[in-house]
Amino acid sequence: MRTFDSDALECLAAIVEEGGFERAAVRLSVTQSAVSQRLRALEAQVGTVLLVRSRPIKPTSAGRLLIKHAMQMRLLRADLETDLQDLTPGTGALREEDRISIAINADSIATWALPALGPMVSEGLPLEIITDDQDFTHEWLREGQVLGCVTTLKQALRGCKVMPLGVMHYVAVASPDYANALCPQGLTPHNFRSIPFIAFNRKDDLQTDFVSRACGLRRVALSQRFVPSSEGQVRAVLAGWGASVVPELQVRSLLANGALVNLAPQVTLPVNLYWHCWNLNSVVIDRLTLALSSAAAVALKTTRS
C-alpha cells in the first residue's frame, strides 16, 4: 500500500478549499512555490493529474479520493486530541488546518443547528460549515469534501451512515402591507403569478413546490428574486420585496406579533431532513451526530405540521 506525505495531502486539500494556490500558501504559511512543488510531487507519485485548473479549481476523481483521505487523517488527529484532552485536560489544541468540515443547509443554520454545535466549537474544534441547498449538501459528502451533511436525501451514500433528524415545515409569508395590496385573500391559483417570490438561489425549488401544493397545480412558473441567505430572505420580505416560503420555525415570532402574515394558513410544506456521515469509528463524528440529532429532535418536533 502506498503512503502519502501528509503535508502534500493537506496542500492539495487547501488548494481546493481555499480556491487557489496563493490562498492555500497563506493558509499553510508556506510560499506559493512550495505549494506547487508539493502538488507536483503528489501528482508524480499518484501518476495522474489531481486538479482541474478551472475557476474555481476542481479536483479530478483521483484528487477527490486523496482529499477525502486527507480529511480522514484530520479526523484521526481530532479524535486523538479529544482522547488526550480527556486524559490531560487543558493540554493541546487542534491546528486551524485540521479543520473539520460539514455541510448544512442554510435554513437549519438559521434555526436550530448552530446552538447544537456551540459546545464543540467552544472546546476548540476547528469547525467549518459549508452551506448549500438542502437538496445538494450531500454532493459535498459524495465528493469527499466534508465528513457529514444535513440533507433531504434518505438513502445512505456509499461508505456512510444516515440518521433521520425530523421534519422542517415551510410556510408562505409576506408583510401585512404587501399582502393587503397584492393578495388580500391570501395565496390563490389566480394571484400567485403576480407575486414575486424571494428564493435562496436558482437551485431553491421550495417556492415552486409550495405554490404547487397550495394551489393544487402540477407545475407553476413564478416570478422570483434571489437572496442567498435565510435571514436575508426574511428581511427582504419584511422590507416588502415580495413573498417567500421559509421555515415556520424561523418566522414563528414574526407571525405571532403581526410583523408577517401567513398567505396560506392551512398549508405547510414538510421537508424531511437527514444527517449523513462517514461510517467510521470516531469520537468526533459520534459527538457531531449526537449534538445535531438531539437538537433537531427538540427543534423540529416543535415545528407545527
Give the start-to-end residue ranges of the domains of the chain.
168-271
- Percentage, residues of the chain above pLDDT 70: 94
171 or 142, which is more confident: 171
- How far is CA 244 from its chain centroid? 20
pTM: 0.79
* The three three-digit cell numbers of residue 219, written as one number: 407545475
Give the residue-averaged pLDDT of 119-145: 90
- Tell me which DSSP letter residue 97 carries: G
pLDDT, tens digit, 9 for 90 and up, residues 276-290:
999 988 999 999 999
Residue 53 has pLDDT above 90, yes or no: no
> Given this model, what pLDDT does residue 4 score?
86
- How far is CA 269 from its chain centroid? 20
CATH architecture of 168-271: 3-Layer(aba) Sandwich (3.40)
Give the residue-averaged pLDDT of 128-142: 91
CA dist list (Å): 192 to 72, 96, 114, 169, 221: 48, 48, 34, 20, 9
- Percentage, residues of the chain above pLDDT 90: 64
> Given this model, what pLDDT does residue 195 score?
94
> Given this model, what pLDDT does residue 94 score?
54
Give the residue-averaged pLDDT of 32-43: 91
> Given this model, what pLDDT does residue 85 score?
66
pLDDT, tens digit, 9 for 90 and up, residues 153-202:
999 988 899 999 999 999 999 999 999 999 899 999 999 999 999 999 99
What values do phi and psi take at 272, rounded to 5?
-80, 130
pLDDT, tens digit, 9 for 90 and up, residues 202-228:
989 999 999 999 999 988 899 999 999
CA dist list (Å): 12 to 51, 62, 284, 285: 8, 11, 23, 23
Give the residue-averaged pLDDT of 115-136: 91
pLDDT band at 3 (very low <50, low <70, confident <90, very high): confident
52 or 254, which is more confident: 254
pLDDT band at 305 (very low <50, low <70, confident <90, very high): very low
Give the residue-averaged pLDDT of 63-76: 87
Q: What is the mean pLDDT of the chain?
A: 90
> Given this model, what pLDDT does residue 91 score?
47
